[in-house]
Amino acid sequence: MTRVLILIGTKKGAFILESDASRHAWELKGPFCATWPIQHVVADPATGTIYGAGGNSWFGGAIWKSTDRGATWTHSSAGLAYGEGEEPIVAAWSLAVGSDGLYAGVEPAGLFKSTDGGETWAHVSGLRDHPSREHWQPGGGGLILHAIVPHPDDANKIWVGISSAGVFHSADGGTTWEPRNRGTRADFNPEDQRYPELGQCVHSLVLAPGGSDRLYQQNHCGMYRSDDGGKQWASIEAGLPSTFGFPAAAHPRDPETLYLAPLNGDIQGRFMPEAKAAVWRTRDGGASWTALRNGLPQKDAYFGVLRQALATDRLDPAGVYFGTGGGALFASADEGESWSCLAQHLPAISSVETLVVDD
Amino acid sequence: MGDRAESAAEVEKVVTVVLPPALLALFPVASREVVLQARTVGGLIAGLDRRWPGMRDRLCDSTPRVRRHINIVVAGQRAALDTPLPEGARVYVLTAISGG
Q: How far apart are CA A309 and CA A355, in angstroms?
A: 14
Distance (Å) from the C-alpha of residue A65 to the closest C-alpha of chain B?
A: 12
Summarised one tens digit per residue, pLDDT across range A17-46 is 999 999 999 999 999 999 999 999 999 999
Give residue A87's pLDDT: 95
Q: How far apart are CA A322 and CA A162, in angstroms?
A: 22
Output DSSP code: residue A29: E
Q: For domain A2-358, give its CATH number from 3.20.20.70, 3.10.270.10, 3.30.1490.100, 2.130.10.10.
A: 2.130.10.10
Residue A140's pLDDT band, with cuts at 50, 70 and 90, is confident
Whether residue B2 is predicted with pLDDT greater than 80 in this model: the reply is: no
Domain residue ranges in chain A = 2-358
Task: Check CB contact under 8 Å for A58 and B64.
Answer: no
Q: How far apart are CA A221 and CA A169, in angstroms?
A: 20
Whether residue A276 is predicted with pLDDT greater than 70 in this model: the reply is: yes
E strands, A125-177, are: 144-150, 158-163, 166-170
Mean predicted confidence (pLDDT) in A64-81: 97
Q: How far apart are CA A115 and CA A125, in angstroms?
A: 16
A 50-69 near B (Cβ less than 8 A): 57-60, 62
* Contacts with A6 (C-beta within 8 Å, 6 or more apart), sequence order: A16, A17, A18, A26, A311, A321, A329, A331, A342, A352, A353, A354
Nearest residue in A to B21, CA atom: A34
Residue B1's pLDDT band, with cuts at 50, 70 and 90, is very low
B 12-41 near A (Cβ less than 8 A): 22-23, 25-26
Residue B32's pLDDT band, with cuts at 50, 70 and 90, is very high
Task: Check CB contact under 8 Å for A58 and B98.
Answer: yes
* ipTM for this model: 0.91
Mean pLDDT of chain A, nearest integer: 97
Summarised one tens digit per residue, pLDDT across range A164-176 is 999 999 999 999 9
pLDDT more than 90, % of chain B: 85
Neighboring chain A residues of B26 at a CB cutoff of 8 Å: 34, 59, 75
Neighboring chain A residues of B63 at a CB cutoff of 8 Å: 84-85, 88
Which has the closest alpha carbon to A310: A292, A288, A284? A292
Q: How far apart are CA A237 and CA A217, in angstroms?
A: 11
Whether residue A139 is predicted with pLDDT greater than 80 in this model: the reply is: yes
Give residue A186's pLDDT: 95
Whether residue B33 is predicted with pLDDT greater than 90 in this model: the reply is: yes
Give residue B100's pLDDT: 63
- Closest CB to B57 among A77, A82, A85: A77
Which has the closest alpha carbon to B52: A76, A303, A208? A76
**Residue A359 in contact with residue A333, Cβ under 8 Å?**
no
Mean predicted confidence (pLDDT) in A6-21: 98
Give residue A231's pLDDT: 98
Q: Does residue B9 sit in helix, strand or coil?
A: helix
Whether residue B7 is predicted with pLDDT greater than 80 in this model: the reply is: no
Go through chain A and tell me how many residues it has: 359
Neighboring chain A residues of B69 at a CB cutoff of 8 Å: 57-58
Backbone angles phi, psi at A64, to 5 degrees: -95, 160
Give residue A245's pLDDT: 98
What is the model's pTM?
0.96
Q: What amino acid is encoded at A219 in this protein?
A: N
Task: Check CB contact under 8 Å for A76 and B54.
Answer: yes
Which has the closest alpha carbon to A258: A232, A235, A290, A298? A290
Mean predicted confidence (pLDDT) in A242-250: 98
* Ordered structural domains, chain B, with CATH: 2-95 (3.10.20.30)
Mean predicted confidence (pLDDT) in A208-221: 96
Residue B99's pLDDT band, with cuts at 50, 70 and 90, is low
Residue B3's pLDDT band, with cuts at 50, 70 and 90, is very low
Mean predicted confidence (pLDDT) in A180-191: 95
